[in-house]
Amino acid sequence: MDPAVDAFLEMLTVERGAARNTIQSYSNDLDDFAGFAAGRGHGAAAADAGCCQCYMASLHARGLSARTAARRLSALRQFHLFLLKEAMRSDDPTSQLDTPRLPKPLPKFLTEAEVDALLAAAVEKPGRPGVLGRAALELLYASGMRVSELLSLPRAAVGAGAEVMIIKGKGGKERMVPLSAAAKQAAAALLALGGADSRLLFPGRDPRRALTRQAFFLLLKQIAVRAGLDPARVSPHVLRHSFASHMLARGADLRSLQMLLGHADIATVQIYTHIQSERLRRVVEEHHPLSEARSGRGVAGDAVPSDG
């Protein structure tokens, strides 16, 4: 191993108390760089900016992912900061390197059929857990609430005749969302079970406190299994994404979605634009005259002339 790399790893172990896996990850990444630098006649600590630039380019040429390249660049930067602090060199050859752009992960969501199966499974679950689970799922899917917002709901939020629900979100900001007929029905069934000794719609064992996230997550996983879904795919946040994705797929606009989800910045909801893009593609395919011509239907019902 390159002595400078060895000194860096020793610093991570002794001074920072880094975990064994972290040390191993740095070791693997810096060994790879040291091998590349050696091939160009440099030691790892003496590599210049050009060598570092070529190394990063080689990662792309080798087909490594942007995430892997970003991790290796981070290791290089930490290594060279160490060299500067230890006066082992007077410059940082990584200072001008660009961080690889990481692809934004698309939000995970369930299909409409899967949500229907989840709701049906909650209805079939016997006793209070089934009534509670159905009310929670209907409210989550009808509003796109966060789980923290759901579990802190007061009973009064879905009282008799309520058409809308006031949700207190991040920073204490309130927003108003409409209640679907199914959500109102499920909430009414939960209220009918009693529990008026608690101000909360979803009280825990101690009626003064809300149901815990852990207890709700366990109930949700049980319902997912009954629905024939992989429980690892089902969570309150996935239902929030499902609400947003299905709304956009059916024609909702981003500004309305921003208000319903309680986001301060519309840029936050732009992760769902892949849904809009797909919907617009279908609209063009179904209604644009050129698309009709190319599919063999012709324009305005006319036959498409043949080449001959």
Q: Write down the catalytic residue from 40, 170, 173, 288.
A: 170
DSSP for residue 62: T
- Nearest-Å Rg of the Cα atoms of the chain is 28
Query: What is the Cα–Cα distance from 141 to 243, expressed in whole angstroms?
Result: 5
DSSP 269: G
Whether 233 is catalytic: no
Active-site residue (options: 26, 55, 141, 272)? 272
Catalytic residue among 77, 89, 263, 297: 263
* Separation between Cα atoms, residue 43 and residue 5, nearest integer Å: 10
Q: Which residue has the tokens 């997550």?
A: 217
In the three-class reduction of DSSP (H, G, I as helix; E, B as strand; rest coil), residue 79 is classed as helix
**Active-site choice (72, 80, 134, 240):** 240
> Any catalytic annotation for residue 141?
no
Could you give the 3-state DSSP secondary structure of residue 200?
Answer: strand
Residue in 146, 184, 241, 246 annotated catalytic? 146
* Straight-line distance from the first to the last Cα atom of the chain, in angstroms, rounded to the nearest whole number: 73
In whole angstroms, give the CA distance from residue 139 to residue 208: 21
Of the listed 175, 237, 274, 279, which one is catalytic? 237
Q: Give the catalytic positions in this structure.
A: 146, 170, 237, 240, 263, 272
